[in-house]
Amino acid sequence: MSTVVPSGKNVQRNWFVIDAGDKVLGRIATEAARILMGKHKTTYTPYLDQGDHVIVINADKVKLTGKKEDQKLYRYHSGYPGGLREVSAGRMRQTRPIKLVEEAISGMLPHTKLGKQMYRKLNVYAGPQHPHQAQQPQALAL
């Protein structure tokens, strides 16, 4: 009996929809990252992108536990001296709720070229509508 080594040529990619309304951000992010990486498949291989596409809707209604709404900070740097910018999670939810979910999921993916390839299969929308009805996505219950 020989070991089967999968190749990236014949990967069957499915589409999943996650409704983030009134669900905890971390729980959604871990499940989405797991699907994007392909860890739910029996043919999972760490060096291949065999994951599926994920659509997250109602990103503006996601919950944060504890005092994260006020205390959690998102930092970025403009590149200029003294250019460190900090935005609280509450402010991020008001201005860019999609970014809140994207940051959580991308932080759980590998930080390599393969991780960027996996991240491109993620679609996040603030409201309940999405333009991917033609792909016939399956609803994913968390």
Percentage of residues in the chain with pLDDT exceeding 90?
Answer: 89
Over the stretch 107-119, which tens digit does the pLDDT of each residue have?
A: 999 999 999 999 9
Over the stretch 12-28, which tens digit does the pLDDT of each residue have?
A: 999 999 999 999 999 99
And the tokens for 106?
A: 């991308």
Q: What is the mean pLDDT of residues 68-80?
A: 96
pLDDT at 132 over 80: yes
Nearest to 19 by CA among 52, 66, 49, 63: 63
Spatial distance between the Cα atoms of 80 and 65, rounded to a whole number of angstroms = 34
Sorted by where each begins, the domain ranges of the chain are 15-66+95-139
Q: What are the backbone dihedrals phi and psi of residue 104, each rounded to the nearest 5 degrees, phi first?
A: -65, -45
Over the stretch 83-101, which tens digit does the pLDDT of each residue have?
A: 999 999 999 999 999 999 9
Give the pLDDT score at 10: 85
Note the pTM of the prediction, 2 decimals.
0.92
| 77: β partners | 84
For domain 15-66+95-139, is the CATH number 1.10.3720.10? no
